Amino acid sequence: MRKFFGVLALAAIITLTGSAGAYAADDYPGEEPTEPTLAGSTVTGICDGDVPWIGFTVELNDPDDKSTSHTARLVITDGTNSTTIELGELVNNRLSGRVLWPGASTDDAGNPTGWPGWAFVDGAWVETDGNFAWTRGDITAELQVNPEIPVALSYPPASPYCATGPELSSDGETLPATGTDFPVVGVAAFGAVIALIGGALFLARPRRANR
């Protein structure tokens, strides 16, 4: 009998111990996985060589590998219009580079051939409501991977060293998009002056008398 009751007591102890462990597990659940973020990511409007660009750095912080995507996109909107720009695939949770501003274009040499809000019509540049003109106004932007993050973005301002639209001449006419900045008219005038001086020197030189 003593052996029987000893077995029963041992079984009861094991049962109680297991129940206590279960309650402890319920009272102290495991840590929740950390949600991924894009903290530290940046987006900036850049003017380079008279061309508007969007520079970006995307950083995915995902210690528990919960993100279901590694494709980065930038969504720009003014509340009425919107456009999505594919930035590329993250490598080691990071991606950086630059893309043309919507509506901007370049030739094979990188020279500007178009700007948002402008159109080349009948040999001249004219302002238009099309060609992503709205992106030059009050806009908001969001980086999307999974998760997402709002980012500050605005059209890059023009400077004495970088134009963000077609250059206008002094009479209000627009210059060609890929023209030269060298003063051609001044060169022509300078050449004319040199020609006049040369002619005057030729006429003024002493002549030998005929024999």
The span from the CA of 84 to the CA of 139, in Å, is 13
Report the alpha-carbon distance of residue 81 to residue 93 in Å, rounded: 30
pLDDT at 175: 53
How confident is the model at residue 29, as a pLDDT?
A: 58
Per-residue pLDDT tens digits of the chain, which is 211 residues long = 555 444 445 455 445 455 444 444 444 456 788 999 999 999 999 999 999 999 999 999 999 999 999 999 999 999 999 999 999 999 999 999 999 999 999 999 999 999 999 999 999 999 999 999 999 999 999 999 999 999 999 999 999 999 999 986 555 455 544 433 333 333 344 444 344 445 444 444 555 444 4
| CA-to-CA separations, 10 to 2, 20, 64, in angstroms, rounded | 12, 15, 42
Report pLDDT for 169: 59
CATH fold for the domain made of 42-102+133-151: Immunoglobulin-like (2.60.40)
- Return the pLDDT at 184: 34
Alpha-carbon distance of 77 to 187, in angstroms, equals 47
Could you tell me the residue ranges of all domains in the chain?
Answer: 42-102+133-151
User: What integer pLDDT is reported at residue 31 of this predicted model?
Assistant: 74
Can you give the pLDDT at residue 202? 45
3-state SS, residue 129: coil
Chain-centroid distance of CA 105 in Å reads 14
Q: Is 146 exposed, middle or buried (0-12, 13-18, 19+ CB in 10 A)?
A: middle
For residue 33, what pLDDT is reported? 84
